[in-house]
Structure 1
Amino acid sequence: MIDTIIFDFGDVFINLDYGATERALEQLGVKEWNSDLDILNKKYEVGKIDELAFIEGIQKHTHNADLVTIREAWNALLLDFPLYRLEFLQMISSKYRLFLLSNTDSTHIDKFEHKVGQSFARDFYGCFEKVYFSFEIGKRKPDENTYKYIIGNHNLVPKKTLFVDDKLENIEGAKKAGLQTWHLNPKTEDVTSLLEFIKTI
């Protein structure tokens, strides 16, 4: 019997277009997303570097683009957050213990909050017992210890806890921690089908 749900954020609640950021960076001179940029991104996602260091790190791979333009390009992937998903979340928040666990950075979260407005963001965050962003906790999925950190903090029972994510590697990490999982395909499924999925567990 599921009593707790841990949700991913991107492509579960807010729609994303990774290609938009890739295209925007390409226009600034970034030829490819190489290993240096990947390492830089992961450092930023766990709070080891600040926004300025991250943006300046990307700048070295551009045709000397300005920092504001790079920041806008980085945020290009953030699309809409349909209201019906928030309403669904509010509806189930009285039935389950809910948590948010996202690999993200302060740049994306700042943009999200400005994009949807403070009231919407507050209503969204208010649905969760606790919100966990990787840049704040210094841990990221799919590291098994990231899930165990939340399990331990809230005395969760893994077999009664469902983890929802669109990325297979994060699902595999959650399974190692003993969690029930739903690998959501954002192209064909919507988080509002959650209750139907739970019936199949």
Structure 2
Amino acid sequence: MIKTIFFDIGGVLIDIHPERTYQYLSDSADIDISTIEKKFPWGAHDKYERGMLSNEEWFQAYKESLPQPCCLKSSDFWNAWKILLGKEKNTVQILDSLKQKYFIWLLSNTNSKHIQDEIEKRYLFPKLVDGTVYSFDVGQRKPEKKIYKIAVHLASAKPQECLFIDDLVENIQAAESVGIKGIHFKSSRQLKNELLRIGIINNT
């Protein structure tokens, strides 16, 4: 019996727009957008989302990854980082309705800047949940198995009593490998239908 439901954030509860971020960075640094995309420092980003780099260290790592000399300003970088996050999706209404019967948690690969400066200030859904598991807080990232085990522990739950909703199939597969039921999110309508199918919500 499901008692706890974990939601991913980006792509599930809010829209994300990497193309807007890349374009802003391209315009700000006067570097063509294909280079901006190609040079993205995924290794440093991984460390940043594990809480291993400060905001300033992440900015410097990003700037150093671009062709030098680079004129990218810190203020422009963080503006680009901000506009990655779009509007809340209709999924938030589903989350809100589930609160009446289930414990609701967030489980996300993310960073302190987005959470503290944007998500906690701009959106409704953080105020609706019972708890959060953020990669930068626990030093682990999806789809690593350990983050799911940490999430279950923090929620004082059992894997077989948990449901995880994410837009990336590899994250769902990893959750299922530790005994958590998963739904691969594609749209709010599809999610509602899946929740109906497995008996999480009723068609009333």
Query: Normalized against structure 2, the TM-score is what?
Result: 0.82
Corresponding residue of 2:26: 26
Measured in 2, the distance between the counterparts of 1:15 and 1:181 equals 20
Match of 1:166 in 2: 167
Look up the SS of the partner of 1:100 in the other structure.
strand
Counterpart of 2:106 in 1: which secondary structure?
Answer: strand
Q: Which residue of 2 aligns with 1:50?
A: 54
Query: Structure 2: any 5+ residue segments left out of the alignment?
Result: none
Give the Cα separation in 1 of the matches to 2:158 and 2:179.
9
Distance 1:52 1:193, change over 3 A: farther
**C-alpha spacing 1:174/1:107, structure 2 compared with 1 (3 Å):** same
Query: Structure 1 residue 143: deviation in Å?
Result: 0.5
The alpha-carbon deviation at position 88 of structure 1 amounts to: 3.1
1:128 CA drift (Å)? 2.0
SS in 1 for 2:140: coil
Secondary structure of the corresponding residue to residue 91 of structure 1: helix
Matched residue SS, 2:9:
coil
Q: Which runs of 5+ in 1 are unaligned?
A: none
Residue by residue, what CA displacement relative to the aligned partner does 1:71-98 show, whole Å, maximum 9, x if unpaired?
Answer: 111222211114x543432221120111
What CA distance in whole angstroms lies between the structure 1 residues aligned with 2:94 and 2:186?
Answer: 18
Q: CA deviation at 1:36?
A: 6.7
- Choose which of 80, 91, 108 in structure 2 pairs with 1:102: 108
1:194 Cα shift?
5.4
C-alpha separation in 1, matches of 2:112 and 2:197:
32
Matches within 5 A, 1:1-201: 1-27=1-27, 28=29, 29=31, 31-34=35-38, 37-60=41-64, 61=66, 63-82=70-89, 84-109=90-115, 110-116=117-123, 120=124, 124-186=125-187, 189=189, 191-193=191-193, 195-199=195-199
Within 1, Cα distance between the matches of 2:45 and 2:83?
Answer: 15
Task: Report the CA distance shift for 1:192/1:72 in structure 2 as closer, same or farther (over 3 A).
Answer: farther
In structure 1, how many angstroms separate the alpha carbons of the residues matched to 2:26 and 2:168?
Answer: 24
Deviations, residues 5-38 of structure 1 (Å, cap 9, x unaligned)? 1110111111112222222233322614457700
2:25 and 2:76 in contact (8 A); partners too: no
Give the CA RMSD over aligned residues.
2.4
* CA contact 1:25–1:74 (8 Å) conserved in 2: no
* Count, aligned residues: 192
2:6 and 2:162 in contact (8 A); partners too: yes
The CA deviation at 1:126 is: 3.5
Cα contact 2:12–2:91 (8 A) shared by 1: no
Percent pairwise identity: 28
Cα distance in 2 for partners of 1:44, 1:70 equals 15
Q: Is the 1:164–1:183 contact (alpha carbons within 8 Å) kept by the matching residues of 2? A: yes
